[in-house]
Amino acid sequence: MNKRRLFGVVGNPVLHSKSPMLFNSLFNAQNTNAFYTRMAADSAAEAIRFFKEACFQGMNVTAPFKEEIIQFLDFVEPEAEKLQAVNTVYWNGKRLCGKNTDILGVVNALKEKGVQANNKKCLLIGAGGAGKAAAYGLIKSGAQLTIINRTFAKAEKMACAFGCKAEKIEKLSENIRKNQIIVSTLSADKELISINDINANHVIFDANYKKSYLTKIAEKKQCVLVKGESWLLHQAVPAFEVFLKQKPNIKIMRNALNETLPDKEKLLIGVFSPEEENELKKNRFFCYTSLTNNKQKPDLVLYGKNKSFKQIKQKTDAEIYSSFKN
């Protein structure tokens, strides 16, 4: 019997991720003996240990590990090297490699809505990891890009690296009015943008999964709206191709985005190689040393080596609070 192939997404927090829905929907439809889960980790170093010891074959990487993970890889593809950000980790023979599919995710999410960035005036709000990938993808597509960030030095540094403009946050309103495409990587609760600056001719690209203040404005003003879930979908497509060496059925993946996150009262949480197995089992965790020979399908897995029950419980509680607080 073939062993089950194991994939995952690592982050801190990570329980909110819809990536498992995208990948597992394909595995189920194709009757592929594979499973994709969420991996909770405290550092990129722990993520790599977990990945190797638990025999994962591929891993997506989300905040805050996209930059930190690079030092543990044997090879980084040129675009990811330029960005100094990796969101996809995979094996090539015995070499552990890194790729950035966020770039294609941005470009193809816009294209899906019929938006061509070439020669369009575009404003990027936010100069973090997601912002870097968005900036690179937009400039490659021929956009005339301006970057704004709360910390101007960060926006200026990114603009210098990519050959575009940077503006101070105080000029946000002015820049929104004179740009056609607005890409925001702000968190969902940030209310920096005034409804009076947005009009129906704007294209609004909101990187958030959750409905945000900006999404509500865009819907009210009847703008073309590109949601964060579309970015998630289109970055997952090339990741699937790298992991499985085949093209995915995008329709199946898109339908999977409509699925809800697991019920917090019914979460199945696995702990790899735990120190205090009996205590964990008494508290509804399941413990394992291999998921490749295991039929369990955990919503979340944690690395248990050298960790007490208290540490694992605290980590799990933090994940649940972060994902279900709203």
Nearest to 222 by CA among 205, 201, 203, 200: 200
Give the span between the Cα atoms of 49 and 40, in whole angstroms.
12
Measured over the CA atoms of residue 211, residue 315, residue 64 and residue 150, the dihedral's sign is: positive
Is the N-terminal amide bond of 248 cis, ω within 30° of 0?
no
Please name the amino acid found at residue 173.
S
End-to-end CA distance of the chain: 43
pLDDT value at residue 1: 55
pLDDT value at residue 325: 72
Tokens of 200: 């129906």
User: For the chain, where are the alpha helices, taking DSSP H only?
Assistant: 19-29, 44-53, 78-83, 102-112, 129-140, 152-162, 172-178, 213-220, 228-244, 250-256, 277-282, 309-324
Is there a contact between 181 and 205 (Cβ–Cβ < 8 Å)? Answer: yes
- Tokens 């499973």, residue located: 35
The residues that are catalytic are 66
pLDDT value at residue 326: 58
How many CB atoms lie under 10 A from the CB of residue 216?
12
Give the span between the Cα atoms of 300 and 152, in whole angstroms.
37
234 φ, ψ (degrees, to nearest 5)? -80, -15
Tokens of 211: 């409905």
Give the span between the Cα atoms of 163 and 195, in whole angstroms.
30
pLDDT value at residue 265: 87
Residue numbers of the chain with a pLDDT score lower than 50: none
Give the span between the Cα atoms of 202 and 71, in whole angstroms.
40
Residues 111-119: contacts with CB under 8 Å, at least 24 apart: 112/226, 112/230, 112/234, 113/203, 113/224, 113/226, 113/230, 114/224, 115/181, 115/203, 115/224, 115/226, 116/141, 117/141, 117/142, 117/143, 117/181, 118/142, 118/143, 119/143, 119/144
Enumerate domains of the chain plus CATH numbers: 5-100+232-324 (3.40.50.10860), 104-226 (3.40.50.720)
Extract the runs of DSSP E, i.e. beta strands, from 34-128. Answer: 34-40, 58-61, 75-76, 88-92, 95-99, 121-125
